[in-house]
Amino acid sequence: MIPVRGYDGKRVGVLGLGRSGLATARALRAGGADPICWDDNVEARSVAQDERFTVADLTKERTYEGIAAVITSPGIPHLYPSPHPAIEMAQRQGAVIDNDIGLFFRSFATEDWEEFERAPRIVCVTGSNGKSTTTALIVHILKQAGHDVQMGGNIGRGVLDLDPARDGMVVVLELSSYQTELARALSPDIAVFLNLSPDHLDRHGGMGGYFAAKRRLFSQGGPERAIIGVDEREGRYLAAQLREEAEQGDPVIRISSGTKLSGDGWSVFARKGFLAEWRKGRQVASVDLREVSGLPGAHNHQNACAAWAAARALNLGPRQIEGGLRSYPGLRHRCQTVGEVRGVRLVNDSKATNADAAEQALKAFKRIRWIAGGVAKEGGIASLLPLMDRVEKTYLIGEAAHAFSEQLGEHPHKVSGTLEAAFADALADAVDGETILLAPACASFDQFPSFEARGEAFEQLASNAS
């Protein structure tokens, strides 16, 4: 746990008592503060009471006597589409509003650091897609190279639940736009911006607000090294702006999947399955990604470029990084190979809960037996029809099955109904060299409580078949 600094002896509201909220309350108490906790959910409030936290309604004016700040969980809206009533009340009462990320950055560094031989380093990863894989990949590479490393934020442990800093430690954080937009303190040593595509637009008031939330990690955070994906215009804009603001050297490493990057700066890009690092107009390293089973597809090659750049910024050598890439097992439920039967590859991409994510999975393989369906998102799978030349047959499950069947039209498909039936149907049809791919393009809540539970069910089916 990282005790929160700056609120000793003060009352501090904690809004939202999930994983990060309870960790925040504990860290505040460890730092000498008096947490005042609230959650709209009665069961969550009961858990806080069991830990002997004060529970009081933060939507009520009377609760704010002596409250210095309100620390809100990331999923709670504070501006768009409309603020939570407790946020509105905190604003009226003049309370500081922050989140656990802001508290982490104001509390992680302590006087003990003066005794360290090597200062701890913080790497932050943001973007629309690939954050979790990139974060986990950086952590894996660093661990394989013998580094003391922790992972947290939107993946792994809550940031205030991490261990205090140790000599030479590296902390790698996955940060969503919900987390970066509100944090009052941001000071990463290395910051990664992967990509930007429409998401959470109601929360941010449109694409401009969404990009602005991501950009704060760089504009306010002022990282020593910024790793920027330049395959979209927002990334190119950000990279150019950061280069212009640099007074000494170039703090930017540009990354791309599919485009050879030119110029005299530092860049890492992947084309046709090969990753290349260039500095000052010449190639300094290269690696073949085509046989790296844990990172299939162009989208994962962008993740590999980002992780390579972050590891190089932390002074790892190319051979160390290549070894980490090759041994990376893949992040669970994200294009993860979980077995092979009679030469048929079994791939779990249960995290592909919308068409955009499923598109990346479909592009990563050929000769696919595709399992899709669940609770459909707007538009269904219409955008994926141009990729059906990669699909031998589709096996449909869940409440979206019949609607998806209509969208598929003449493309070979079967309404299997359940995941178990779809897996059995696909395995019966599949031949050597094909891939059975679970990439549902749907939420899971009709048949499973989460995408993780859906992926675990697929893993069990794969294990039973192997």
Convert the pLDDT of each residue in 27-36 to its tens digit. 999 999 999 9
418 is an annotated ligand-binding site residue:
no
Q: Which pLDDT belongs to residue 244? A: 66
- What contacts 133, CB < 8 A, 6 or more positions away? 295, 300, 303, 331, 334
Residue 96, phi then psi, degrees to nearest 5:
-65, 140
* Burial tier of 403 (Cβ tally within 10 Å: 0-12, 13-18, 19+): middle
Question: What is the extent of the structural domain holding 123?
Answer: 109-327
pLDDT in tens, 276-294: 999 988 999 999 998 898 8
Question: Is residue 405 a known part of a binding site?
Answer: no
The verdict on whether residue 205 carries a ligand-binding annotation is no
Q: How distant, in Å, are the alpha carbons of 89, 110, 261, 287, 310 from that of 277?
A: 51, 36, 10, 9, 12
Residues of the chain with pLDDT under 50: none
Q: Are 321 and 231 part of one and the same domain?
A: yes
Is residue 13 part of an annotated ligand binding site?
A: no
Task: State the CATH number of the domain containing residue 115.
Answer: 3.40.1190.10
Question: For the chain, what is the domain count?
Answer: 3
Residues 224 and 373 in one domain: no
> In sequence order, which residues have a C-beta less than 8 Å from that of residue 433 and are 6 or more positions away?
343, 344, 367
Q: Give exposure, 41-64, as e/b (b: 16+ Cβ within 10 Å).
A: eeebbebbeeeebebbebbeeebb
The reported pLDDT for the residue numbered 384 is 96
| 59, 143: one domain | no
Q: Is the pTM of this model over 0.85?
A: yes
**Residue 132 is labelled as binding a ligand:** yes
Are 323 and 416 within one domain? no
* 271 lies in the same domain as 155: yes
Tell me if 168 is assigned to some domain: yes
Residue 247's pLDDT is what? 53
Q: Of 308, 327, 346, which closes a domain?
A: 327
Q: Which pLDDT score is estimated for 62? A: 95
Using only C-alpha atoms, what is the Rg of the chain? 23
User: What per-residue string of b and e applies to 269-294 under the rule 16 or more CB within 10 Å gives b?
Assistant: bbeeeebbbbeeeeeebebebeebeb
Asked whether residue 206 falls in the same domain as residue 172, the answer is yes
Q: Is residue 4 included in any domain, yes or no?
A: no
Q: What's the pLDDT score for residue 245?
A: 53
328's tokens: 């990376």
**pLDDT tens by residue, 376-388:** 988 899 999 999 9
**CB-CB contact of 443 with 375 (8 Å):** yes
**Which of 98, 129, 157 delimits the end of a domain?**
98
List the structure tokens of 269: 């890009």
Last residue of a domain, one of 275, 299, 327: 327
